[in-house]
Amino acid sequence: MKTQVTTEQAGSLKLFSPVKVGPYQLTHRVVMAPLTRMRTIKDNIPNDLMVEHYVQRATEGGYIVAEATVISPTGHGYYGAPGIYTREQAEGWKRVTDAVHAKGGVIFLQLFHSGRESHIDLQPDGGLPVGPSVVEHEDHVYTPTGWTTATLNRALEIGEIHAIVNDFRKAAELAKTAGFDGVELHGANGYLVDQFLQDGSNQRTDVYGGPIENRARFLLEVVENIVAVWGGQRVGVRLGPSGTFGSMHDSDPIALFSYAAEQLNKFGLAYLHIIEPRIKGSFLEAEGLEPVASAHLRKIFKGTLIAAGGFEREDAEAIIERGDADLVAFGRYFVSNPDLVKRLRNDLPLYPYDRETFYGGDERGYNDYPVYQEQVTA
């Protein structure tokens, strides 16, 4: 039988020491990462399944980033993902935030637009997906008939870019109505913000393309508009330096993401959330790879930093001890361990996840994972 660590031993771990995120005082540094699970049923409105899912994983003084949530009808890339562009969607999310707050948790909403990672079956009136440029790619998206290759997108016009920036602002306003404590902008994983950042997907020649300063313009305009709604201390940004998910690549990722992190300093953000390049989607690329992006950007970004991507208890503690991150986000193991915080605190075994039930479906692989039960031996 595995021996639990004592309260004093658990308390000595920096992973379980207090920390502030924006104005919020947390009791530990274990973050529930934003997890795309695609469990809405009607009109992309959060439902009973989702309320139960988040409440299972909420902890007193713990921090949750709710899953990537679509900010406009053109932003869909995954059938069943929730939205935040209608009052009904905001009301659905209000039930989630109320339930998390009742358990003493803090919850932000992650805002995203899938950009070119979409399909005509997911677009209004069967239109083409949109992106910064028309570039062949190998993305796959989830439609009503299952996983399929994304439809080649069309390039956005300048006026349309401005309209999407405004869509992010409107979504931020609805997130406030829904009772969230703040919002996180999804600028990683090959979605629209990332598509503008990286020159593998952005081949524009206007003010949104070309040099790094131009390619970062969309990111910074969106952040500026979200901060105008929430204030910087209630806004986070997620980036994926050197990430390849979504057919992404850049000719000089170090220069690009260094510039982006430096520019984000001026907003006084709650945090910068970094996905380490050792992760691709929900897969760890290779065992033994060290987290490198957080260590680099820590020297540039002046605020709180969250690291994500393939962490387990030991290396989560190590990155915080080194000072390369202040909090660590867990994804796959939060899927299969609703009591992950307890298990990590007490060094208990983790329940294995079922990758086949990650995306879409019902309560199976979503709300039916067990909490840890003590095994009493004679």
* Tokens describing residue 66: 């709710």
Amino acid at 223: V
Let me know: does 64 contact 108? Beta carbons within 8 Å.
Answer: yes
Let me know: does 324 contact 297? Beta carbons within 8 Å.
Answer: no
Hey, which residues does 324 pair with through a beta bridge?
A: none
* Tokens describing residue 134: 């028309």
- For residue 245, give the nearest of 191, 287, 206 by alpha carbon: 191
Let me know: does 156 contact 130? Beta carbons within 8 Å.
Answer: yes
**Regarding beta strands 279-280 and 283-284, do their DSSP bridges make them parallel or antiparallel, or are they unpaired?**
antiparallel
Let me know: does 185 contact 222? Beta carbons within 8 Å.
Answer: yes
Hey, which residues does 261 pair with through a beta bridge?
A: none
Q: Residue 31 is inside which H or E element, if any? A: strand 30-32
List, by residue number, the catalytic residues.
191
* Tokens describing residue 9: 């031993």
Let me know: does 115 contact 130? Beta carbons within 8 Å.
Answer: yes
Hey, which residues does 21 pair with through a beta bridge?
A: 24
Backbone φ/ψ region at 372: left (φ over 0), alpha (ψ -120 to 50), beta? beta
Amino acid at 19: V
Q: How many helices (H) and strands (E) does the chain have?
A: 12, 16
